[in-house]
Amino acid sequence: MAAISQTSKRVGWFEFQATLPRWARMTLGAAAWVIFLGVWQFAPRSPELEALLPTPLTVVETLYNLFAEKGFATDVWQSLQRTMLSFALAIAVAMPIGVLMGSFPAVEAFLNPIVSPFRYLPAPSFIPLLLAWFGTGNEQKIALLFIGVVWFLISLLMDDTKRVPIDFIDTSRTLGAKHWQVVLRVILPCALPFFIDTMRQMLAVSWTYLVIAEIVAATDGIGAVMMRARRLVRMDIIMAGILTIG
């Protein structure tokens, strides 16, 4: 009976919505990468295809040379500064607006008609306007990265604020807490884990706009290096840049 019970608890890898053990997930994930990189590395290709699709080892070697001989670390540092500064500004704007919209329906009704349309406008469409306002300097790139995430960040932080149980808010109000005390001492601490997860995801989105921000009259940064490599048909450098961003 014990053997039958243990057998019945076994879950096949191809059962619907089955929960795999940790070792199985890690093994399958590692196997996928080994197969993917192996096919990429050893698949036969012509010299023309080799130039357009360099092997993983070539990309890794190029990345090492960029850091060791080409001063690529300086470009990475410039890109990192732009990304982190723009994201910090986006948080500074989105956090109070998102929390207020999620806490008070009147604020949401007032601001959401403005936030929602901008959320669906592609950030690159602002490039001509930003060039007219800020020129080709750092400010234009930071502004583009800011616009790329701030509207989504406001909406997501608003949704995270709404995830705080209403019972917590009602209890604090019953105990005599004022509105600002409820926001600072109940809503923010309860929603903080959701905020952190949202910021982590949106920081990844911010990096996706980096190359777009740095291809316009840029002299440094990962995107500028990749654009110069495109003119020279150096696909290994472009892939090394992609690997660095990833």
Alpha-carbon distance of 37 to 41, in angstroms, equals 6
Q: Confirm if 145 and 80 have CB atoms less than 8 A apart.
A: no
Q: C-alpha angle with apex 77: 71 to 79, nearest 5 degrees?
A: 110
How confident is the model at residue 5, as a pLDDT? 47
Which residues have CB under 8 Å from 85's CB, separation 6+?
142
How confident is the model at residue 161, as a pLDDT? 92
Alpha-carbon distance of 110 to 117, in angstroms, equals 13
How confident is the model at residue 12, as a pLDDT? 67
How confident is the model at residue 210, as a pLDDT? 82
Q: How far apart, in Å, are the Cα atoms of 187 and each of 104, 115, 132, 147, 151?
A: 12, 22, 41, 26, 21
Percent of the chain past pLDDT 90, that is, above it, reads 23
The SS3 assignment for 13 reads coil
**Farthest CA pair distance, the chain:** 78
Q: The pTM is what?
A: 0.80
What digits encode the pLDDT tens for the residues 159-201? 999 998 888 888 888 888 888 888 888 899 999 999 999 999 8
Higher-pLDDT residue of 45, 240: 240
Q: What is the mean pLDDT of residues 68-77?
A: 86
How confident is the model at residue 10, as a pLDDT? 55
Higher-pLDDT residue of 44, 194: 194
Mean pLDDT (the chain) is 85
Q: Which of 29-38, 100-109, 164-173 has the lowest mean pLDDT?
A: 164-173
Question: Per-residue pLDDT for 3 more than 60?
Answer: no
Question: Per-residue pLDDT for 94 more than 90?
Answer: yes
What digits encode the pLDDT tens for the residues 109-155? 999 999 988 888 888 888 888 888 888 778 888 999 999 899 999 99
